[in-house]
Amino acid sequence: MSETPKANAVDNTTGQKIPLNEVVISLYEAQDKIYPRSVSGFFTKWRWVMIWLTQIFFYGMPWIQWGNRQAWLFDLEAKRFYIFKLVLYPQDLIYLTAILIISALSLFLFTAIAGRLWCGYTCPQTVYTEIFIWIERKIEGDRAARMKLDAAPMSTKKLFRKTAKQFVWIAFAFWTGFTFVGYFTPIRELASSIVNMSLGPWELFWVCFYGFA
């Protein structure tokens, strides 16, 4: 809070000038860093069970083969959607629309009946927040260790831990974006393109966009 002279007022009885001070009060305060504690218990265990299930499905499904093709693939270039044995063509859009509508309504119904189950256990924001916090905890330590590390002056140890955390975060985000694009481009071809540094501009854009947005 600071006081800055702005103008003078005149006392009607004495005629003397009275200085007026403008009090400037900042409505914004620098946000302190949050250091979440490590918690355990019945519900935390179930949250991690759901995290494992959802992530195994998300990261593993594109690698499953069905015959000589990817089992789950939305091939936009060929205008074909493969879901195991089911193959949908553009003229079958009505079926895909019905599936999406049913999925959306099911999500709305589930959220209305048991919203906290979705938000607390399977929502992507919750899932990835838990994963990134877990990575931070493994590299920098528990809450007390992280607070001590941030308060300490810069050193080789601090620089190494901070750099390692950011590197793992970026690698995980890139792998997430890569997996997402693997649902629309055959993931084995996508991996080969990355290794050979021949990734197309659209694939590169969506890998980075989904991974780092």
Tens of pLDDT, residues 122-174? 788 888 889 999 999 888 888 888 888 888 888 888 889 989 999 999 999 98
Q: Residue 87 — pLDDT band, cuts 50, 70, 90? A: confident
CB 205 within 8 A of CB 180: no
In angstroms, rounded to a whole number, what is the distance separating the alpha carbons of residues 203 and 210?
A: 11
Q: In the prediction, which pLDDT does 123 show? A: 81
Average pLDDT value for the chain: 79
CB 85 within 8 A of CB 168: no
Please indicate whether residue 4 or residue 113 has the higher confidence score (pLDDT): 113
**Per mean pLDDT, which range of 26-35, 54-63, 131-140, 194-203 is the poorest?**
26-35
Residue 211 has pLDDT above 80, yes or no: no
CA contacts within 13 A on the Cβ side of 213: 10
**Per mean pLDDT, which range of 79-93, 121-135, 176-190 is the poorest?**
79-93
Q: What is the DSSP string of 138-160?
A: HHH-SHHHHHHHHHSPP-HHHHH
Per the structure, the complete domain to which residue 120 belongs is given by 2-212
Indicate the SS3 state at residue 20.
Answer: strand
In angstroms, rounded to a whole number, what is the distance separating the alpha carbons of residues 141 and 94?
A: 51
CB 36 within 8 A of CB 143: yes
How many distinct structural domains can be found in the chain? 1
Question: pLDDT tens digits for 93-133?
Answer: 777 788 788 888 887 777 777 667 777 777 888 888 899 99
Most distant CA pair in the chain: distance in Å? Answer: 99
Q: Residue 72 — pLDDT band, cuts 50, 70, 90? A: confident
Q: In the prediction, which pLDDT does 140 show? A: 85
Q: In the prediction, which pLDDT does 134 show? A: 92
Q: In the prediction, which pLDDT does 2 show? A: 46
Q: Residue 56 — pLDDT band, cuts 50, 70, 90? A: very high
Tell me the percentage of the chain whose pLDDT exceeds 90: 10
Q: In the prediction, which pLDDT does 199 show? A: 78
Length of the chain in terms of residues written: 213
What's the mean pLDDT in 34-61? 86
